[in-house]
Structure 1
């Protein structure tokens, strides 16, 4: 980078090229193509190695328009869930997008000089970004979209998962996604602690299927060997035989039960820097879905693109606090799931939920349940004992500490 380039003051510098950062860059470029922007990503591709899925009802028309240029797999005739007591088809459309398609679309739509891939940020402040190679990017507005930072100020459990895309020797015959197959053996992901297990299945083509083994677990250990073996067994149980792996993803995500969000914001705050994405607290506490929030934030930032950096930072902090207050009900449900239900009985909580009205389920995933819908979720024959539920309401859970999360590979 030349001295003149280093002296250039960009309108916006976005740090982190995941879902949040990439969509903000896309929305800003569409709204203000004259802006000088950079999207800084430490990896060599945007979006990492992920698959994002969401319901068609999650997004506004404007949100759908933002995603429209990015290749998606669509199922317009609904999805299925299965539990020991029933199998149910629901009519809401479902969508899924791979990080590969996300990367390819952004590389195609964004100016080449806007993308800074393989460039790791070492320090961020309100006036710019210092890079590991010694260069500095100056900007009037800096947006931090780096990954979630575990914190002792937030409490909860973990969503642990391993997914694999497979090409099968014969057609699988699936017409709809199975977004939760809870009719599987309820085993812990690594033999310790408790967990609610389910399998998530997406038919991506006549011979291509994505299978993900997922656990709501007390502990964050990801045992790749155990989960990989269970994916193989699930495929055999469905009569699909041994397919050829063509892709995979894995992760350990927080499932929040409570905490001191103000203290968390104080911990991650960089004065004058806007924070978006999961680091900013923008995730569904129970499902860990992020697409709806990432799209909404991208559109909101693009609409207020002329705000000075400190004002945009204050706006995003306010949006995060509003989101925290609005989603308190879902953290309460997480406390019921983790503290009131015994691990091997946690499937009963979700089994009862998916038997409710379809519109209620849609708004639940949006994080916008009405008071009547919240009452309906809690009312009726409880899947957990009332004394345990009462006790769970006042528990905080384990702190999500800042140490790196363990992974078992052998």
Structure 2
């Protein structure tokens, strides 16, 4: 990999330049290496490592077999005995296998397997266009195609709320005793503010080893604000209540969009750079309600690599159109989840949003699997919306036909 902070040595024109070395960009680079080895590429990342500081987790059923092959290369944490959820009214174990990948392992594996000289770290991109990229130091990298995998860009053309979280990786003094992840513990105080008023709150727990546990305090909130000290204190307090005493050896924070509506065509127009393909969360490839990006990043990486392997003369404009049409299709196919997001943020008061999730998790395990994978069937959708609603019917109907509340854009972390 190109050392951080040094001038690039190799600016030979490339078949592809990928801008952004997070999950989407890193997986595209891996897919090109495995599936289109004749395609030369450069992956440019502004940070010092690929993947940033993240932990990505997913259900095994979220990925098609072709996409799973890319992720299975990495050293994953795996739990095949299912996972737990807990609500004020009940607790439950569901049998779906669960996977998790830390960004340190993401970076280490890509550093090992990507072609030598194909990665530039610590390099800010100043400009993108159909013919290549210009770095902040003025260096020009010419390319036949450019793929923009930079992070999500908030837009006043979108509506919704935010998922705000802070997690601690704790090394316990003694074994913690957990054998399964706790995907959602919503028995915690639902009226506890987190810097901007009430929100749906739950704690997420991963047993990473016999004596290491990841504990994350999460909020579905109207504002993208975070009080780090407050959330860190609650995360530590939760661990103490469970008897998990030890030292914090890592942490992660995030403020992710929960999309409930918007004018996607105007979003595309604002983001479009002629001839530049957009992938990842910036291009709209996320689950509107859960904010998951991994299944869609893996599918995009696979299909982009297949396209370039099978049609090596694909132009920059054709690749940009390919990704844009995928984004439009994804937007159409996830309309149901945006409607559920409106139900959450508009029909339920913040301290009562727990009832929406409690109702959902009382449904069948197969339905829950398809929901997270973004593949809910029409019977699934009817089942989710049937029965005694967890919110007032009048407010539910109003939310269903609403265009969504515009994003509150201020961001404090």
**TM-score (norm: length of structure 1):** 0.96
1:304 aligned counterpart, secondary structure: helix
Q: Contact 1:159/1:253 (CA < 8 Å) preserved in 2?
A: yes
What displacement does 1:191 show?
Answer: 4.5
- Work out whether 1:323 is the aligned partner of 2:327: no
2:375 to 368, 371, 376: 368
2:300 aligned counterpart, secondary structure: helix
Q: Contact 1:58/1:362 (CA < 8 Å) preserved in 2?
A: yes
1:285 to 285, 288, 291: 288
Specify whether residues 134 and 184 from structure 1 end up closer, same or farther in structure 2 by C-alpha distance, changes over 3 A only. Answer: same
Map of 2:115 onto structure 1: 111
**TM-score (norm: length of structure 2):** 0.95
- How far apart, in 1, do the equivalents of 2:7 and 2:75 lie? 36
- How far apart, in 2, do the equivalents of 1:26 and 1:394 lie? 42
- Work out whether 1:251 is the aligned partner of 2:258: no
- Work out whether 1:405 is the aligned partner of 2:411: yes
What displacement does 1:60 show?
Answer: 1.7
Map of 1:359 onto structure 2: 366
Specify whether residues 2 and 342 from structure 1 end up closer, same or farther in structure 2 by C-alpha distance, changes over 3 A only. Answer: closer
Matches within 5 A, 1:1-400: 5-6=10-11, 8-241=12-245, 243-305=246-308, 306=312, 307-400=314-407
Unaligned stretches of 5+ residues in structure 2: 1-5
What displacement does 1:65 show?
Answer: 1.3
Deviations 1:224-254 (A, max 9, x none): 011001011101111223x211111101011
1:48 aligned counterpart, secondary structure: coil
1:232 aligned counterpart, secondary structure: helix
Q: Contact 2:36/2:306 (CA < 8 Å) preserved in 1?
A: no
1:221 aligned counterpart, secondary structure: coil
Q: Contact 1:162/1:250 (CA < 8 Å) preserved in 2?
A: yes
Q: Contact 1:13/1:38 (CA < 8 Å) preserved in 2?
A: yes
Deviations 1:114-165 (A, max 9, x none): 0001111010000000001110110001000000000010011000000110
Q: Contact 1:56/1:94 (CA < 8 Å) preserved in 2?
A: yes
1:334 aligned counterpart, secondary structure: helix
Q: How many corresponding residue pairs?
A: 404
- How far apart, in 2, do the equivalents of 1:294 and 1:216 lie? 23
Deviations 1:243-275 (A, max 9, x none): 211111101011011000000000001110000
Unaligned stretches of 5+ residues in structure 1: none
Q: Contact 2:131/2:146 (CA < 8 Å) preserved in 1?
A: yes
- How far apart, in 2, do the equivalents of 1:202 and 1:57 lie? 18
